């Protein structure tokens, strides 16, 4: 039907590159990659090994995926990223990450005496960027830029699983702005929004890099503190409590404080709601104690700062 020359011409015009890779990781042949927006000429790779081209860790990963495709015999699909830091040789490759979808299929014949696969690499960076932005929008509070309730619960569920499996402790601070309704009534809702944004900014400044900060709803905020016990969380929360009045006074010329409750995971916990309920109990105790304070609440135990 087609001459060999015509088949070679067809393969050469494929938009995405198709690599023939042997079990040992050698580039036996390369076809296509004609879409110059996303790919450069890869013909120089032919005859070289993945271990000649890529850093060892990345080359090992590619070879393991080749093994999986050879073992299953069916289409094997993976997503992966590549950047200049993955490439052997200083200055080679892009400085930013490029995402690919690899469609890997074993061949039913040997190539140069080795089992081999065809690996079609499709650049999905643009699609991945869109997905990341959509995910960020779905997890973020529009006003403050903090995470929202959905992301908070998801993170707490993950941390509870880690606590149950390995005993990795996590503490939670739940706090709100004292007399927030009065602030809105006196200065207006725009000022109320400004106060929420200022508190969010303050949290980002004073919380640790591994803390997740979320707007729980209204003027309530939650800080998830992996690796912190109840006493650590109390000290961190106390530092934040001291900073808030100064920040709101500078931003709004308004005197306002926060009250909070702190809790940590405990063995009987069965859901993320359990730790939030106890933190809310600590918040209630802080309100009842006169506000502008933080209380740690465990069953039958209240500790205030």
Helices and strands (H and E) in the chain: how many: 9, 11
Return d(Cα 138, Cα 148) in angstroms, integer.
8
How do beta strands 27-32 and 17-22 pair?
antiparallel
Label residue 67 exposed, middle or buried (CB < 10 Å: 0-12, 13-18, 19+). Answer: middle
Label residue 244 exposed, middle or buried (CB < 10 Å: 0-12, 13-18, 19+). Answer: buried
> How many residues are given for the chain?
305
Cβ-proximal residues to 209 (8 Å cutoff; 6+ apart), any chain: none
Return d(Cα 86, Cα 95) in angstroms, integer.
10
Give residue limits of the domains in the chain. 4-131, 140-304
Which pairs count as long-range contacts for 211-217, CB under 8 Å and 24+ apart, including other chains? 212/147, 212/151, 212/152, 212/155, 213/146, 213/147, 214/141, 214/146, 214/147, 214/148, 214/149, 214/151, 214/152, 215/141, 215/143, 215/144, 215/146, 215/147, 215/148, 215/149, 216/149, 216/152, 216/174, 217/149
How do beta strands 294-298 and 301-304 pair?
antiparallel
pLDDT value at residue 94: 58
pLDDT in tens, the chain (305 residues): 778 888 888 888 889 999 999 999 999 999 998 878 778 888 899 999 999 999 999 999 999 999 999 999 999 999 999 888 888 864 455 567 889 999 999 999 999 999 999 999 999 988 877 777 777 777 899 999 999 999 999 999 999 999 999 999 999 999 999 999 999 999 999 999 999 999 999 999 999 999 999 999 999 999 999 999 999 999 999 999 999 999 999 999 999 999 999 999 999 999 999 999 999 999 999 999 999 999 998 754 555 55
Options 3.40.50.300, 3.40.50.1100, 3.40.50.720, 3.30.70.270; which CATH number does 140-304 get? Answer: 3.30.70.270
How many CB atoms within 10 Å of residue 4? Answer: 7
Question: Would 4-131 and 140-304 be classified into the same CATH topology?
Answer: no
**CATH homologous superfamily for 4-131?**
PAS domain (3.30.450.20)
Return d(Cα 48, Cα 26) in angstroms, integer.
6
DSSP letter string, 92-122: -S-SS-EEEEEEEEE-SS-BTTB-EEEEEEE
């Amino acid at each position: 039907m087609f001459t060999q020359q015509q088949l070679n011409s067809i393969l050469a015009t494929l938009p995405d590159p198709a690599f023939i890779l042997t079990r040992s990781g050698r580039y036996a042949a390369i076809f296509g990659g004609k879409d110059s927006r996303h790919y450069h000429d890869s013909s120089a790779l032919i005859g070289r090994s993945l271990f000649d081209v890529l850093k060892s860790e990345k080359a090992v990963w590619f070879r393991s995926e080749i093994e999986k495709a050879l073992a299953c015999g069916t289409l094997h699909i993976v997503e992966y990223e590549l950047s200049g830091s993955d490439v052997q040789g200083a200055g080679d490759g892009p400085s930013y990450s490029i995402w690919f979808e690899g469609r890997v299929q074993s061949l039913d014949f040997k190539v140069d005496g080795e089992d081999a696969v065809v690996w079609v690499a499709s650049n999905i960076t643009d699609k991945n960027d869109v997905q990341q932005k959509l995910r960020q929008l779905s997890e973020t509070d529009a006003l403050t830029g903090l995470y929202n309730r959905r992301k908070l619960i998801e993170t707490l569920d993950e941390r509870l699983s880690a606590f149950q499996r390995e005993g990795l402790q996590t503490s939670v601070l739940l706090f709100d702005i004292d007399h927030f309704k009065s602030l809105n009534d006196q200065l207006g809702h725009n000022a109320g929004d400004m106060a929420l944004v200022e508190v969010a900014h303050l949290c980002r400044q004073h919380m640790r890099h591994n803390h997740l900060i979320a707007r729980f709803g209204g003027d309530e905020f939650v800080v998830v503190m992996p690796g912190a016990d109840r006493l650590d969380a109390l000290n961190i929360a106390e530092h934040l409590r001291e900073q808030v009045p100064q920040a709101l006074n500078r931003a709004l010329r308004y005197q306002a404080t926060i009250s909070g409750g702190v809790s940590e995971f405990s063995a009987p916990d069965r859901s993320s709601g359990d730790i939030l309920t106890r933190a809310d109990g600590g918040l209630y105790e802080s309100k009842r104690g006169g506000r502008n304070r933080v209380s740690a609440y465990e069953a039958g135990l209240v500790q205030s700062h």
